[in-house]
Structure 1
Amino acid sequence: MSSVPESGPGWGDLLTRDRLGVTIVLAGGTALYAISSYVTASLLPTAIGEIGGARYLAWATTVFVVASIVSSTLVGAMLAARGPVGSYLTGFGLFSIGTVICTVSPSMSLLLVGRAVQGLGGGLLMGLGYAVIHQAYPAALRARAAALVSAMWGVGTFVGPALGGVFAQLGPWRLAFACLAVLTVSVGAIVPIALRGTGRSGHAQRIPAVSLTLLMAAAALVSVAGVLPRGGWTAAGVVAALLVVAGFLTWERRAAVTVLPRLTFVKRSPLRWIYLTMVAVAIGISLENFVPLFAQELGGLAPLAAGFVGAAASLGWTLAQVVSAGAQRPGTVDRLRLAGPVVLTVGLTLTALTQIRHAGLSTLLVWVLCMMIAGAGIGLAWPHLSAAVMASSPDPAEAQQAAAAIGTVQLIATAFGAAISGVLVNLGEPSPLRSARFLEFGLAAIAALGVAAALAAHRAAARTSAQRQPALTQS
């Protein structure tokens, strides 16, 4: 029996003449979403000085996240109705319209409308980024394509704060949104050419209205929990959101029209455990939301330098993906899926243990290294978790629905991660050292749950493979 090579097609195979366009579209759509998430956070404090509405500042994120989650669940139906070209044009069109509204907004109320429209387009772009991988690339390239798409969050971590910070400091904050609109139109313009060989696909069904309502309520509760007074109110908001998510899963198990594929709820299927592993590792990156604050308060860094320290986890994530995405041997891939949450747990724990007041340069460098280790854990596992989802069913329509749900799962995890991080930081106040340790140990505990989920996925996959083997032998 010939062994499977450790490395299949290389990164260059994503950039061949017949794949370059689709690679730009998939990666560009996710990058625009990530950049928008970070650039808005940098700009809004300056914007409210001109347009007012400080009391609604948190809602600029809330409406964006809620709209994104809702539209990401419609990717399968959109692909069935309009195909990849029409779906991507819709996503880029909505995103550009929302960005233009933000650019010209004379008031916070209109800016919130723009953010909602942006979110509708962004959620489609996020979901399509994974769903179209299943159709546009051969199986051997899907892990690399998924790694490239998810690495765009690292691009957003650098470009977003830099773009927003420069224009906020210079004064004309609206130009940052204008630049984002130009980028959106530029990438969207190549969609008809880049995706012309892809046909209509997806999961044709009615809109899962009840599931969408429950997801929207959960996302809203999570976002509101992040701005409630610390303590009992914040915890109550998170608990309420978790209860709504439990209601969503209960409904999905029994409903005729669903967001998640049916395979998620099949008893012996590994898909549910793969999704749970993805949630656990995606929540871990929430650390980045608060690292710049801790770097300033504990390390005495200037805001710009603190921002780059905050990007250390994304850098580790991106670098690890470059190395791990080429693995092909089943045994190696299985170990990477398990090693990811383990490395993430270790990195977060080390970061917590090394936090001290009045940190010097050497300690800051240790923090950066520990956060890069944590980020590397995500990068080791994510491409292969994504590929496992795409290969979860022999039915192409069901496999694509599962792939489209990756974006929804990631968005939900990001929303919950932000809210849970806010709760943990609030528990440590007024001490920034205690807040940092609560956050990092808390996220490490969640990552450890990801280890358990990865083990459960491995066992379920092994049972499924063992059951298929006799059938293959008989045939």
Structure 2
Amino acid sequence: MSADDYESTSGQARAAAGLPGPMIVLAGGVLVGAINIYLAASLLPTAVADLGGASFYAWNMTVYLVAMVVATMLTGRFLSRWGNVGAYLLGFAVFTAGSLACALSPAMAVLLAARGVQGFGAGLLSGLGFAVIRSALPPRLWTRGTALMSAMYGVGNFAGPALGGLFAQLGSWRLAFAVMAVVSAGCGALVPRVLPRVLPGVRRGVLSGGGHDRDLRPPVPVGSLLLVMAAAGAVSVAGVLAGTLAKAAGIGVAVLLMAGFVVHERGSELRVFPQATYRSGSSLKWVYLTLGLLACGVAAESFLPLFGQRLAGLAPLVAGFFAAAISLGWSLTQIGSSSVTGGRAVRRLRVLGPVLLAAGLLVQGLLQREETPLWLVAVWVPVLLVAGAGIGLAYPHLSVAAMSSTPDPEEGRRAAAGIATVTSLSIAFGTAVAGVLVNLGGGSMLDSARYVLFGLAFLCALGALTAHAANRTDPALAADRA
């Protein structure tokens, strides 16, 4: 039996035996990481009052996101080294340890280090959530599986601020991290029972008839890793710098570093993304770009509470729930979108998603007013739900396109793990861009709100062009057209 046959047979048999178990583990891993992106933001004012270190306030998000992006890049390495079960146990163990360290932190410096550990575990779990679908589920369920994984980002973006605000209201910021540790440990305990045991890379040489134990574990792409770390760091730092020029310079450095990353990957044998990403005529690069532009729209949620409080006089807790409408629309829409089949329908949803997201943000910008009346605030919510629905329509089909971009299982897992890398990095990049746009408004919150919403709408609209390019170059959809 070949390695490919072993993976397919064991995964489908396990999926047929009991879908809820694998899906709880896969979805739970993505969810705990997504929740903690914004959980700490709600808890930090209380934590700073307890620990001090206000000057390091913004670095909690920076450290977490950088560690998360790096970990998603290493997902393929961990899968090849320890297999599905081992990699997942490691991810949950690291996240649990980081969460406990956050809960017990005696000083802000320790909290920062713990957030880095927590972010690394979250990134690994996010990457695994997409990569392991290939072996945990049969191909006919890949679309619904990826829809559930990506929906967890929406649920996490909704639940994170709400849970953080609740525990901050109770004055128990340490308890919030302790609860996340318990949830993570519970999911980790399920791993050996429900996931298929795909053998690690060192055994694949035997299964594929190599005649001896050949170590097929991919070496760590150090050059690519350093460039992405630097780019992620520059984006995150740009989001917290004072002054528009400083923010713009930080984003410019990040763009140059990402350009260097692409050049390095094209000419290197050690890559983060599959070789098909850089091949002429391949659809994978357009798929990744579309996913990234969709994820940029989520960055609006970081600033919508501010606009709701300043322009409409909403209470902080109400403004937080109002801001999560994009994520809620994203999550709910994927329930129906994931069941859509047929090449023509899939092509339309891929393009319609970015258009709908951009239109929602554009209309939301046009509806901004000083001293917004309550009836107009009520209109904001469905508009933001429609914007989030744009992500939900396209995201699962783009994710499956990435997973199915190559028949090679190792490259397929790398392509799937790249979904989490692109999503995390794009949210960080979009947040930094939105931070620059807020400053362009100067002292006018109305102008700041319009700059942010119009600017993000423009970025998301570009996703319609990249989605069209992905449709045109996707061999599966081309065959369907024929």
Q: TM-score if structure 1 supplies the norm length?
A: 0.93
Name the aligned partner's letter for residue 136 of structure 1.
A
Question: Measured at CA, do residues 83 and 114 of structure 1 come closer, stay the same or move farther in structure 2, by a change above 3 Å?
Answer: same
Question: Measured at CA, do residues 319 and 214 of structure 1 come closer, stay the same or move farther in structure 2, by a change above 3 Å?
Answer: same
Q: Residue 245 of structure 2 aligns with which residue?
A: 232
CA distance in 1, matches of 2:163, 2:476: 49
1:71 Cα offset (Å): 1.1
| Structural mapping, 1:282-301, within 5 Å | 282-301=295-314
Give yes or no for contact 2:84–2:197 (8 Å, CA) kept in 1: no
Q: Residue 332 of structure 2 aligns with which residue?
A: 319
The reply on whether 1:89 has 2:102 as its aligned counterpart is no
Q: Secondary structure at the match of 2:474?
A: helix
Give yes or no for contact 2:472–2:478 (8 Å, CA) kept in 1: no
Give yes or no for contact 1:425–1:439 (8 Å, CA) kept in 2: yes
Name the aligned partner's letter for residue 143 of structure 1.
T
Q: Secondary structure at the match of 2:372?
A: coil
With 380-389 and 173-182 compared, the bigger mean Cα shift is at 173-182
Deviations 1:350-401 (A, max 9, x none): 1111111111221112111111111000000000000011111122221221
The reply on whether 1:406 has 2:419 as its aligned counterpart is yes
Q: Residue 394 of structure 1 aligns with which residue?
A: 407
Deviations 1:168-201 (A, max 9, x none): 1222221111111111111111101011444436
Name the aligned partner's letter for residue 362 of structure 1.
W
The reply on whether 1:73 has 2:73 as its aligned counterpart is yes
| Structural mapping, 1:136-285, within 5 Å | 136-200=136-200, 204-285=217-298
The reply on whether 1:420 has 2:424 as its aligned counterpart is no
CA distance in 1, matches of 2:144, 2:286: 22
Give yes or no for contact 2:365–2:449 (8 Å, CA) kept in 1: yes
Give yes or no for contact 1:268–1:464 (8 Å, CA) kept in 2: no
1:53 Cα offset (Å): 0.6
1:17 Cα offset (Å): 5.1
Name the aligned partner's letter for residue 180 of structure 2.
L
1:467 Cα offset (Å): 12
Give yes or no for contact 1:344–1:376 (8 Å, CA) kept in 2: yes
1:462 Cα offset (Å): 5.6
With 58-67 and 242-251 compared, the bigger mean Cα shift is at 58-67
Question: Measured at CA, do residues 196 and 139 of structure 1 come closer, stay the same or move farther in structure 2, by a change above 3 Å?
Answer: closer
1:460 Cα offset (Å): 1.3
CA distance in 2, matches of 1:468, 1:338: 16
1:240 Cα offset (Å): 0.6
1:410 Cα offset (Å): 0.7
Q: Percent identity?
A: 50
Name the aligned partner's letter for residue 37 of structure 2.
S
CA distance in 2, matches of 1:274, 1:372: 24
CA distance in 2, matches of 1:318, 1:68: 22
Match of 1:332 among 328, 331, 345: 345
Name the aligned partner's letter for residue 295 of structure 2.
A
CA distance in 2, matches of 1:42, 1:61: 11
CA distance in 2, matches of 1:199, 1:352: 51
Deviations 1:20-51 (A, max 9, x none): 11100010001101111121111111101111
Deviations 1:147-168 (A, max 9, x none): 1111112222332222221221
Question: Measured at CA, do residues 15 and 371 of structure 1 come closer, stay the same or move farther in structure 2, by a change above 3 Å?
Answer: farther
Give yes or no for contact 1:69–1:412 (8 Å, CA) kept in 2: yes
Question: Measured at CA, do residues 71 and 308 of structure 1 come closer, stay the same or move farther in structure 2, by a change above 3 Å?
Answer: same
Question: Measured at CA, do residues 388 and 214 of structure 1 come closer, stay the same or move farther in structure 2, by a change above 3 Å?
Answer: same
1:114 Cα offset (Å): 0.3
Name the aligned partner's letter for residue 97 of structure 2.
I
Deviations 1:56-95 (A, max 9, x none): 0111111111111111111111111100100001100110
Question: Measured at CA, do residues 132 and 15 of structure 1 come closer, stay the same or move farther in structure 2, by a change above 3 Å?
Answer: closer
Deviations 1:316-357 (A, max 9, x none): 111111111101111111111111011111111111111111
Question: Measured at CA, do residues 15 and 252 of structure 1 come closer, stay the same or move farther in structure 2, by a change above 3 Å?
Answer: closer
Give yes or no for contact 2:355–2:464 (8 Å, CA) kept in 1: yes
Q: Secondary structure at the match of 1:349?
A: helix
Q: TM-score if structure 2 supplies the norm length?
A: 0.92
Deviations 1:242-295 (A, max 9, x none): 000000010000011010100001101110001000011110111111111111
5+ long unaligned stretches in structure 2: 1-13, 205-215
Q: Residue 122 of structure 2 aligns with which residue?
A: 122
Number of aligned residue pairs: 457
Q: Residue 45 of structure 1 aligns with which residue?
A: 45
Give yes or no for contact 2:35–2:159 (8 Å, CA) kept in 1: yes
CA distance in 2, matches of 1:300, 1:465: 51
Give yes or no for contact 1:15–1:23 (8 Å, CA) kept in 2: no
Q: Residue 341 of structure 1 aligns with which residue?
A: 354
Name the aligned partner's letter for residue 289 of structure 2.
L
The RMSD of aligned alpha carbons is 1.9
5+ long unaligned stretches in structure 1: 1-13, 470-475
Give yes or no for contact 1:83–1:199 (8 Å, CA) kept in 2: yes
Question: Measured at CA, do residues 143 and 196 of structure 1 come closer, stay the same or move farther in structure 2, by a change above 3 Å?
Answer: closer
Question: Measured at CA, do residues 138 and 354 of structure 1 come closer, stay the same or move farther in structure 2, by a change above 3 Å?
Answer: same
Name the aligned partner's letter for residue 299 of structure 2.
S
Match of 1:431 among 426, 440, 444: 444
CA distance in 2, matches of 1:468, 1:153: 32
Deviations 1:110-146 (A, max 9, x none): 0011001001111100100100012211222111111
Name the aligned partner's letter for residue 416 of structure 2.
A
Q: Secondary structure at the match of 2:243?
A: coil
Give yes or no for contact 1:353–1:437 (8 Å, CA) kept in 2: yes
Q: Secondary structure at the match of 1:331?
A: helix
Give yes or no for contact 1:136–1:198 (8 Å, CA) kept in 2: no
Name the aligned partner's letter for residue 311 of structure 1.
A
CA distance in 2, matches of 1:217, 1:268: 29
Name the aligned partner's letter for residue 439 of structure 2.
N
CA distance in 2, matches of 1:381, 1:172: 39
| Structural mapping, 1:90-105, within 5 Å | 90-105=90-105
Q: Residue 24 of structure 1 aligns with which residue?
A: 24
CA distance in 2, matches of 1:288, 1:465: 36
Give yes or no for contact 1:386–1:403 (8 Å, CA) kept in 2: yes
CA distance in 2, matches of 1:450, 1:467: 22
Give yes or no for contact 2:300–2:453 (8 Å, CA) kept in 1: yes
